[in-house]
Structure 1
Amino acid sequence: MRAVITTLRVLEAVAELQPVGVSAIARATGIPKTSVYRCLVTLREAEWLTASRGDRTQWVLTGRALSVGVHASGELGLREAALPTMRELRDETHETIHLSSYGADHDLVVIDRMDSDEPVRTWVHLGARVPLHASCSGRAILARLPDAEVERLLDGELERFSETTPTDLPAVLADLRRVREVGYATNDCAWRPGVGAVGTALVDPRGRPVGALAVSVPVQRYDAERARRLGPLAAEAARRISASLPPS
């Protein structure tokens, strides 16, 4: 039983940190490197993990692991509803489209991506946890919640990712008022350096947020004017996806 638990801890570490090497997994989990490597080999043989294409010493999740995660968390319906509109939005904007899910655990997680056809594009791995306060997807979600609930979710110190990250609650609440007015959130390198984005919430028939749609843009192609053009396109795409979601 202990070996199974250790292997699952290694799998969770890869999901959180990918692409990631043996040493980083050992540091994150406290598991000896030799044990980490044995777990990685087992997970590779089971087709849950594979070596990264860019660096064979780094490990990433396979489609099998991602598929199980999607089914287990009830995200399959969200993904199926969103994919056709994501493709249309990608073709219209020529930028990368990210789909994230938001559930009862209050985690916002990237579950699908439609890559840009531009040679310079943004990228985030599937399974990445998205910070609510620092990302446009997260603030689009928060804008759909009452301020009292937002205050509970953001209680405590807010992590700073860059010099543009909002790290105090009043600043976040002020931005949420703007998001509610225009229908989309913006992000100027506040989460990931070199990346701008616009994000909109996906809501169920009751109006509760269940996910977010984001148009992610390299900073070379992003400014306030581009955000104003992309925002309404993302908001309309999110409206269509939300309208197609079944009652939860």
Structure 2
Amino acid sequence: MPTSNQAVRAVITTLRVLETVAELQPAGVSAIARSTDIPKSSVQRCLVTLREAGWLTSSPTDRTQWVLTGRALSVGIHASVELGLREAALSTMQELRDETHETIHLSSYSNDHDLVVVDRLDSDEPVRTWVRLGSKVPMHASCSGRAILAQLPDAEVDRLLSGTLERFSDSTPADRDAVAEDLRSVRELGYATNDCAWRPGVGAVGAALLDPHGRPVGALAISVPVQRYDAERARSLGPLVAGAARRISAGLPRT
């Protein structure tokens, strides 16, 4: 029988593997072992344990790679619709990634007004964008955030934009009037754009995901390195992300 210290170490090792998958996903055994300095055999045992517990599963596109389940993402990211959101979005995200060859991000908008990245499908290009799953996304500075703001009542927008808005770059809309002006364009186009307003070197287009009641519950975004992003590319990608968001929204469960 393992001692109490051995049992504690085993739990800590398993949690380290879970945290590493959350950071790197999709991740294979070798990548996890390199990142954690845990032997591959131990990593494999932890992965099997976490799969049996419902925290991890194999990637739908590569069975040797591991990703978080909705159960894992629901811990620490308090969004009631998250599992249904990811399930409804996955196939459309894959189609959009394959069509654009760019990274696709799915963000969840929760009742406590946090916008959090909950899923990501990486570009197959050698130069690509990357953001950690679980990252909190600024509402005013991101295309996902502004796509959601455009779907909210004015009073809620005012609450979300109260106080000082952080400036991430010269192109960040850092006051209420600048954001409001942009939201008019977002409502007209059906999608928001972002030219390095949040993350330097990254352009993006995004559209809101709406539940059956018309309430925004998240956003879908195409994220592009500036080497492949300009106004013309944004105009070509915008309708694609807007159409994909409509298809996902149509599949969201009624709560």
Match of 1:144 in 2: 151
Match of 1:49 in 2: 19
Match of 2:118 in 1: 111
- SS of the residue 1:157 aligns to: coil
Ranges in structure 2 where 5+ consecutive residues have no aligned partner: 1-7, 25-30, 38-46, 57-67
Match of residue 218, structure 1, among 225, 231, 237: 225
CA contact (8 A) 1:40 1:49 kept: no
Counterpart mapping for 1:159-174 below 5 A: 159-174=166-181
Q: Deviations over 1:60-96 (max 9, x none)?
A: xx98485344345431110000000000011111110
Task: Determine whether 1:134 maps to 2:103.
Answer: no
- Give the TM-score normalised by the residue count of structure 1: 0.77
Root mean square deviation of aligned Cα: 2.4
CA contact (8 A) 2:209 2:246 kept: yes
CA contact (8 A) 2:20 2:36 kept: no
- SS of the residue 1:97 aligns to: strand
- Counterpart CA distance in 1 for 2:202 and 2:179 is 19
Counterpart mapping for 1:155-194 below 5 A: 155-194=162-201
- SS of the residue 2:223 aligns to: strand
- Counterpart CA distance in 1 for 2:219 and 2:108 is 6
- Counterpart CA distance in 2 for 1:70 and 1:50 is 13
CA contact (8 A) 2:114 2:136 kept: yes
The CA deviation at 1:103 is 1.1
Match of 1:246 in 2: 253
Match of 1:9 in 2: none
- Counterpart CA distance in 2 for 1:124 and 1:90 is 16
Moved over 2 A (4+): 39-58, 62-74
Q: Deviations over 1:93-124 (max 9, x none)?
A: 11100000001011001010111111111000
Ranges in structure 1 where 5+ consecutive residues have no aligned partner: 1-38
The CA deviation at 1:49 is 2.9
- Give the TM-score normalised by the residue count of structure 2: 0.75
Match of 2:202 in 1: 195
- Code of the aligned partner of 1:220: Q
The CA deviation at 1:146 is 1.7
Q: Deviations over 1:16-38 (max 9, x none)?
A: xxxxxxxxxxxxxxxxxxxxxxx
Match of 2:73 in 1: 70
- Counterpart CA distance in 2 for 1:49 and 1:245 is 28
Percent of aligned pairs sharing the same letter: 70
The CA deviation at 1:45 is 3.9
Task: Determine whether 1:209 maps to 2:216.
Answer: yes
The CA deviation at 1:57 is 7.8
